[in-house]
A and B are shown apart, each in its own frame.
Chain A
Amino acid sequence: MFDLDLWREIFQSINMNRTRSLLSGFTVAFAILLFTILFGIANGLQNTFAEAFVDDANNSITVQSGRTTKANKGLQVGRQIQFKNEDFDYIKEEFEGKVEYITARIYKNFQASFRGEQNVYDIRAVHPDHQFLEKTIMKEGRYINQNDLNSKTKCIVIGRLVEEDLFLKTTALGKYLNLGGIQFKVVGIFTDDGGDNEERKIYMPVTTAQHLYGNNDYIDQINLTYNPEMDYDQALAFSTLLTKKMKNRFSVARSDQRAIRVRNMAEGTKAVSQMTVGLTFIILIIGLGTLIAGIVGVSNIMIFIVKERTKEIGIRKALGASPKSIVSIILIESIFITAIAGYVGLLLGIGVLEIVKPYLVEYFIKDPGVSNSLVVGATLTLIIAGAIAGYLPAKKASEIKPIVALRND
């Protein structure tokens, strides 16, 4: 029940004892401010970390070829291994169920021009699955699809910065871009969290590239992701088996490290996820520490407040205040101050984070911030701690004989 008179009493007490109210409010606000800032910065660090390692799918495996360094089965050293479409199909069929996405890659490099503007870009000829492997985000239009592959269409998907560079302020979608003398239709524009470099790429269907540049079925590299349901050990076993089978297929010596190179991101991923766990742990300790410091502060102040108000409590009791009304007036006041101060601390903290955000990027802190629920939870914890810390002395004060409280001057 809302008791206006009780609130009047409380507001008067807060208003007329400003030093006391400000002091206790300051402690809480400061604790929440520190909590928000520390947690925000730690989160920022984690964001940077996550972004640096998670741009590409972290269950990905790349298969690359090179020259042999060892003679094997009568074949000489220095033989160039060249992947073809059949190798791509082989992996796809051989490891069906274990492979999630798979794409071939052909690297090209062309001068691209549109009207007066021109520049040189990396070009990747790929399969549709490539979108998921690179975590490419479509901004406009569509990605390469199976249809493009089948009919070897001259269409391309360009990065956001390619559009910015060449098409200036106009839109690129549906326009024709000249790549090394051949006109390609832009069917999509993408963005990528991997940074500017990733957004200066151009994708085209793998079959188109094979047809136009040499009319062969060569592939430079095969990228795939393994089934995410596999655990770390299964993933390693899978890539080991893949390496072995590919080496057999090309008659490469087992110990040859150059001819067939299979790189499994899982090896790195494990270290990364362990570091992330470590970071989370540190964040938790920081948050908990700040919170405990805040709780101790609030508790101290509550004990002090009750002590300071002992005489007032005695007077009120002599005038007919029940113990319950004594406890509630002290508790509600402290909860009210804590809640307001906690909110102020939160706003300040978020404000500080917003202001320093641009300056922190170079220190590997990206998007520092805290979730609202976390801060609300922290403030609630402080309020509850303050209430408990205040309740015990308030209860005790409400039980002392008024004569003892009144004598205390």
Chain B
Amino acid sequence: MLKIHQLNKSYPIGDSSLHVLKGINLNVEEGEMVAIMGSSGSGKSTLLNIIGMLDEADSGEYILDGLPIKNLTEKKAAVYRNKFLGFIFQSFNLINYKNAAENVALPLYYQGIKRKERQEQAMFHLGKVGLADWAKHLPKELSGGQKQRVAIARALAANPKLLLADEPTGALDTKTSHDIMAFIQQLNDEGKTILMVTHEEDIANMCKRIVRLKDGVIMEDVKVTQDRAENYV
């Protein structure tokens, strides 16, 4: 599903440069649920951004579903992101002047799907996250948990191969976090491949595999027994 080989990335800081990722090797199979952990500055977000084609590696190989991701034009990157990837962000990143249904429909708009079908699909996915009744509400009228669920519905709308989550529970309280995690686990149960960055142990333990990063190097890569979130709800 996802193959990363000797990935390097550094950021220029003044005259010198900061080597953030130092030769990362990572394989993720279909249906996996991987937590990428590490303290801040370990390079975990950078790695996720490169996987999400939001950022580009300096060197190394990145193959997504058999497609080498390299030297993409902006246009092609946009198409790939739209087709292969669904994003869930810590700060939700909903468009504040669009209501829930319109936010969910946005990736479909960029796929060129007709308006009526977009609306139907958006409603379907909102229903899946349990927010069908909130379709006409603006993000500011929703709670944090609801916003994240809208964001998940939006990530699912384009039916991506890979779901990328950057601290999906970072801005939520414990109970809501567990709600969201239960939902993400359910998606994984249905077969979605999920990659998430987190620095919370209990959240990481709800995944099936934990990759620990430190100073740009993978320190540990272990499969764990999944801790079901519904036990906490």
Contact = CB atoms under 8 A, between A and B. Distances in A.
B97 A16 contact: yes
Interface residues of B, number: 29
B75 A318 contact: no
B79 interface: yes
Contact of B93 (A5, A17, A315, A323): A315
B106 interface: yes
B181 to A, nearest CB: 22
Contact of B87 (A318, A321, A409): A318
A17 B97 contact: yes
A12 B105 CA distance: 14
A403 B49 contact: yes
Contacts of A4: 115
B98 A12 contact: yes
B26 interface: no
B113 to A, nearest CB: 10
A6 B81 CA distance: 20
Given A319-B154, A320-B158, A402-B54, A5 B74 contact: no
A324 B76 CA distance: 12
Interface string A301-328: 0000000000110111111111111000
A319 B81 contact: yes
Nearest to A315: B93
B15 to A, nearest CB: 21
B43 interface: no
B94 to A, nearest CB: 8
Interface string B104-130: 001101110001000000000000000
B70 interface: no
A320 B79 contact: yes
A409 B91 contact: yes
A312 B74 CA distance: 17
Given A322-B75, A406-B93, 17 more contacts: A8-B115, A12-B97, A12-B102, A13-B97, A311-B93, A312-B95, A315-B94, A318-B52, A318-B81, A319-B82, A320-B79, A320-B83, A321-B78, A325-B110, A399-B74, A403-B49, A409-B91
Interface residues of A, number: 29
Nearest to B74: A323
Interface string B48-91: 01001011100000000000000000110011011100010101
A245 interface: no
B110 to A, nearest CB: 4
A409 B96 CA distance: 13
Interface in B115-155: 115, 154
Contacts of B52: 318
Nearest to B83: A320
A9 B97 CA distance: 11
Contacts of B102: 12
B178 to A, nearest CB: 26
Interface in B168-225: none
B130 to A, nearest CB: 22
A175 interface: no
12 contacts: A12-B98, A16-B97, A314-B93, A317-B78, A318-B52, A318-B54, A318-B81, A319-B106, A319-B110, A322-B75, A322-B78, A401-B54
